[in-house]
Chain A
Amino acid sequence: MLSNLGNTLIIVALLISFLLVFFSFKEFRTNNNSIPGKIYKISLLQLFFTASSFIILLLAYVLSDFSLANVYENSHTNKPLFYKISGTWGNHEGSLLLWINILVLFSSLFLFINKNKDKDFKILTLLFQNILVIIFLIFLLSNSNPFSKLFPIPLEGLGLNPILQDPALAIHPPLLYVGFVGSSIYFSAALAALISKIDSQSLAISIKPWVLVSWFFQTVGILVGSIWAYYELGWGGYWFWDPVENSSLMPWFVMTALLHSILVLERRIGLYSWVIVLSILTFTMSVTGTFLVRSGILNSVHTFASDPSRGLFILSFLIIMVFFSIYIFFKFAPNESKKYTIFSKETFIIANNWFMIFFLGVVLIGTLYPVFLDTITGSKISVGPPYYNLVLAPFLIPLLFLMTSGPNYKWISHETKSFFDLVLVLSVILFLITFLLIKESSFLLNLILFFSIYLIIQTLFDFYESFKKKNINISRIISHLGFGLLIFFIYINHIFSQENNFNLKLGEIKKTDQYIIKFENLEEKSIKNYKSIVGYFNISDKKTSITKELKPEIRVYDKPITITYEASIESNLFSDTYLTMSNISETDVFNIKFQVKPFMNFIWFSVLLLSLGGLLNFLSRNKNEKN
């Protein structure tokens, strides 16, 4: 029943999208000054039908309707309701439907919100956006239909991979999709801008909120994904340079570059072509990331069931999209001349862009190199954290420096500023104090430490100034402060993290340099869809004699039979105590991984601050518009 209904809704949505493309095309370059009402109506109708199809799928999951192959493969009646719901987008087909929903939502929002813009520009944006919608709807129907029927109807589903049954994981894909797919709207707008030749300022104004929104969601999505990895994967790390993580980071770099370039474009004519290139590149990176994840050419913890025909479809789409964009760009892009001096704000913003593009290049090469090598020479390698740390770390230093000094330069003009100011002196003192506490010998790491402190102090100083003058860009300060703190705390966390691996039997005690770990008790529990073995550990600190109770778990899920190791994390403001246990078969000995990770909460907080800056900018923009 639901299967037929879902299929019908999708087909109707496809027909409406064709209608929308047809009318948009007919409307382009007519003498009408405004977009006719019927286009608005059709757009609303399209939104209604796609949203309904998603709700139907959601309903099928909630009701455990196993006549849908998709529900059968990814759900189970015993699963908690929350994970039934999140199961909707926890698989390729369902997530594609969500993807299409976001495409359509952004298409309608763009149409309705940007009320007084150039008509040709708007109608072309709508046209391109809906061509994207059509392509993905066809993909969904032909290859990845979440509404495919199953007969005879199974009594029970196969279940959702227990590793995916985690609140952070359940919410991070939708967040990332808003980021990924949100970039489609400024991709469409960039192409439309080229053809309709709108001026740089109106381009900047019309794409800025979308860039901010997608950037914000992308940042938060990456954050939540990291938190999930930290809690659930049980290795105590939060970033692994895994290909899938990389594919969420790559569009983020381009978005960040774009965000900064738009600031220039808003005020000056200049960087017009560059903003267009970045807009196109962001969505290209999003689709490339999707291709890498879904085609199965990369091995990763995030594998979706891979299928080469799926990869082929996305790749064909990517090829057409890229060559079409290149063609449009070279046919329509205007010639620009540069109009600014070396020590102006523009230069620093462009420098930011070069860094972002460099980071993008490094991550892209690191992700694709194994694929290239495999194809050309047949050897399998994987590129790990050492490569990224080695290549990226030195470039953090100039980036941090530019983030510190750049924002205080004036637009266009050249104005020198004394470097020996209070901020610098304060930073040096703070750095020396930290240095004496840490006594890190690496020159490079010390430089990174110094410049992150310098950035933090400078932004705090700017923050104080902004209170006095009330006209400084507060969102910039918050984001830059967030980034400075992020680097600082990653550094501190890296230096002070402790890890111990050992085996313990029930009742035994293990002493490390600083801690005494006692294995007190073991308990078996039976919970709705899994069995749980809980270990009770007592950790006491020799120095402070503070004790903590940690309860790591081993869970045995029945559908599908899977064992997961749940870390027990005792988190306080300054430090996380992290313990996982795993059983060693045929013995009563457990393998214990005990870690102390300082400032984890500060790392999360820094990223939150970073994203908050973007949100504030978005909100303050809307306020300005109303005034």
Chain B
Amino acid sequence: MRKINYIIISILFSFLFIILYSSLDNERIYNTKDLIGKKISQVEINLFQSNETINTEEFINNEFTILNFWASWCAPCRKEHPNLVRLSKIKNIKLVGVNIKDNVESAKSFLKENGNPFDILAEDKNGKNSVNFGVYGIPETILIDSELKILKKYIGPLNIKDVNEIRKLVKK
């Protein structure tokens, strides 16, 4: 009896730990795999501080488009910002910044302080539109081509490695 208990309890804990272990690197692959290669969903977003909207269909005119989801209250966004500035220097990419659930004044001063790398600045006041892009946290970055196909999706702040990867991808 004692031995059986011993074995059962050990197996139960092993199972628990295996799950917890595999959950450790779960988040980083969340949602990325199944969206890559698919066409980006058709979403209409408001332009920042204006009544006009822009439709994702319009990105068809660009060779490559990067959608970046950010907010002034998000600390990692501040960290990745220099990398966005680097990306803005690549000529065949249009950078679209989507400002999420943010205060207008602090968003403005964020860009004033850190530079504005975006060709188009859009806003998503309540965060609802971003969900349609499959965004689940910020910062997040989506690279699409002229057929509106998602080439790459980055969850979390972009680092210099990601910038180089994007650079290579758009060169081809």
Interface set of A (CB-CB < 8 Å, partner B):
158, 291, 295-297, 299, 308, 311-312, 315, 318-319, 322-323, 326, 330, 371-372, 374-376, 378, 380, 556, 560-563, 583, 585-586
Contacts and interface: CB of A to CB of B under 8 A. Distances in A.
B9 interface: yes
A223 B109 CA distance: 38
B17 A297 contact: no
A375 B109 contact: no
Nearest to B136: A380
Contacts of A318: 17
B106 A563 contact: yes
27 contacts: A295-B24, A296-B27, A297-B20, A297-B24, A297-B26, A297-B27, A299-B137, A308-B24, A308-B25, A311-B24, A312-B21, A312-B24, A326-B6, A326-B9, A326-B13, A371-B23, A371-B26, A372-B19, A374-B30, A375-B19, A375-B26, A556-B103, A561-B73, A561-B110, A583-B103, A585-B125, A586-B49
Contacts of B30: 374, 378, 380
Interface in B52-108: 72-73, 75, 78, 103-106
A249 to B, nearest CB: 19
Nearest to B109: A561
B20 A291 contact: yes
A286 B163 CA distance: 40
Contacts, number: 72
A318 B109 CA distance: 45
Contacts of A374: 23, 26, 30
Contact of B19 (A295, A371, A378): A371
B30 to A, nearest CB: 7
Contact of A315 (B6, B21, B72): B21
B2 interface: yes
Contacts of B78: 560
A585 B27 CA distance: 33
Nearest to B78: A560
Given A297-B20, A375-B26, A323 B136 contact: no
Given A319-B17, A322-B13, A563 B26 contact: no
Contacts of B49: 586
Contacts of A296: 27
Contacts of A299: 137
Contacts of B136: 380
A422 to B, nearest CB: 47
A146 to B, nearest CB: 19
Given A158-B75, A374-B23, 5 more contacts: A319-B17, A374-B26, A375-B22, A376-B19, A560-B75
Contacts of B103: 556, 563, 583, 585
Interface string B4-35: 01100110010001011111111100100000
Given A374-B23, A375-B23, A585-B103, A326 B17 contact: no
B103 to A, nearest CB: 5
Nearest to A585: B104
Nearest to A288: B20
A326 B5 CA distance: 10
A564 to B, nearest CB: 10
A367 to B, nearest CB: 12
A381 to B, nearest CB: 12
Contact of B6 (A311, A330, A560): A330
B131 to A, nearest CB: 12
Interface residues of B, number: 31
A308 B24 CA distance: 6
Contact of B10 (A326, A560, A583): A326
A491 B154 CA distance: 46
Contacts of A380: 30, 136
A273 to B, nearest CB: 11
Given A291-B20, A326-B9, A563-B73, A556 B106 contact: yes
Nearest to B21: A315
Nearest to B3: A330
Nearest to B5: A330
A560 B114 CA distance: 13
A330 B137 CA distance: 45
B26 A323 contact: no
Contacts of A583: 103
A295 B23 CA distance: 10
Nearest to B106: A561
Contacts of B137: 299
Contacts of A556: 103, 105-106
A297 B110 contact: no
Contact of B72 (A319, A330, A561, A585): A561
A291 B20 CA distance: 10
B32 to A, nearest CB: 11
Contacts of A562: 73, 106
A502 B106 CA distance: 25
Interface in B124-168: 125, 136-137
Nearest to B28: A308
B24 A315 contact: yes
B20 A315 contact: yes
Contacts of B110: 561
A70 to B, nearest CB: 15
Contacts of B20: 291, 297, 315, 371
Nearest to A295: B24
A87 to B, nearest CB: 15
A323 B13 contact: yes
A374 B24 CA distance: 11
Contacts of A158: 75
Interface string B117-128: 000000001000
Contacts of B5: 330
B73 A330 contact: no
Nearest to A554: B103
Closest A-B pairs by Cβ, 7 of them: A330-B6, A561-B106, A375-B23, A585-B104, A297-B23, A371-B23, A311-B24
Nearest to A330: B6
B59 to A, nearest CB: 26
A311 B24 CA distance: 7
B4 to A, nearest CB: 11
A318 B14 CA distance: 11
A562 B106 CA distance: 8
A374 B20 CA distance: 11
B23 to A, nearest CB: 5
Contact of A586 (B2, B13, B104, B109): B104
A510 B164 CA distance: 56
Count chain B CB atoms within 10 A of each CB in A311, A561, A563, A585 and give the residue with the most. A561
